[in-house]
Amino acid sequence: QTQFTCDHQCNTPEKWNHANNACAGKSQSPINVVTRKALKDERLTPFQFTNYQQIFKGTIKNNGHSVQVGVPHVSTISGGGLPTTYKAVQFHLHWGTNGGPGSEHTIDGEQYPMELHIVHMKQDYTDLTTALSDPEGVAVLGFFYERSNSGNRKYEPIINALQKIKATNANTSFSEVSLTQLIPSEQNLTSFYRYKGSLTTPGCTEAVIWTLFENPIPLSMEQLKAFSDLKFHDGKPMVGTFRPVQPLNGRQVFRSGS
């Protein structure tokens, strides 16, 4: 077997099966959620968000395949049908071209313009690598975006920072943000979908409990377009940073009780 190496996208996620056998697994992400087939599960109660409102000064980085922000390991989630408490590690986004379709997950075939992933690991772990060796070690909260006519002021620190990190490996610090300000208010987070899947990039490790919230986050077209100003390593516009949806292979998708 020939060794196939590529950096992240390769820019062709179709080749990932060759790059890494795990990417050809049977429980891959993202998926299309067929809402009429999602089974309502009363155990999927609302989440408890702890220290999500904590304000931090972050470093935002163009890592060559996304924009990523490391988060101090103090914000946690529990409830929501999770087996234990998970702490936030980082967040990043996936988007399309100039505000066009760009989410990784789709709902009844609809692809949203962008998707936020807040990556968490079980509280007792100290690094993601260890967490990924536990089949339930990682919990990613996924949020969709929708175009709105008015801009979202709460995203200004992030959007403004993008202009300073157009080049791959560039990073900058940004003014104070909290996770709370980036997501819908807590009472709008009780409706969500749940399934077991994988990282959406190589190694495609099947160790992720996925949550997809129904209520999208509003951003103006201009704000969405700002992400397309970033550049891949080769200088080409960083657009289409999503993996196509993967087969369910018999997995059940659940929906929250409320």
- Provide Rg for the chain, Cα atoms: 17
Under the criterion CB under 6 A, does residue 162 sit at the interface with ligand SG4? no
The distance of closest approach from Cβ of residue 61 to ligand SG4 in the complex, given in angstroms and rounded to an integer, is 9
Site stretch for ligand SG4 (CB under 6 A), options 42-50, 58-66, 174-182, 232-240: 58-66
CA atoms within 13 A on the CB side of 34: 7
* 192-231 footprint of ligand SG4 as x/- string (CB under 6 A): -------xxx------------------------------
The distance of closest approach from Cβ of residue 200 to Zn ion in the complex, given in angstroms and rounded to an integer, is 5
From 17, 32, 63, 85, residue interacting with ligand SG4 (rule: CB under 6 A): 63
- For residue 179, the partner it binds in Zn ion, ligand SG4, none, with Cβ less than 5 to 8 A by kind, is none
Q: What CA–CA distance (Å, rounded) separates 175 from 182?
A: 14
Under the criterion CB under 5 A, does residue 105 sit at the interface with Zn ion? no
Strand-pair partners of 151: none
Here the tokens at position 177 are 């943000």
Under DSSP, is residue 154 helix (H, G, I), strand (E, B) or coil? helix
- Look at residues 9, 218, 186, 188 and name the one whose alpha carbon lies nearest to residue 116: 218
Amino acid at 58: G
Polymer length of the chain? 258
| Known catalytic residue at 65 | yes
Q: Which residues from 203-232 bind Zn ion, rule CB under 5 A?
A: none
Under DSSP, is residue 127 helix (H, G, I), strand (E, B) or coil? coil
The residues of the shown chain that bind Zn ion, judged by CB under 5 A, are 117
Residues serving a catalytic function are 65
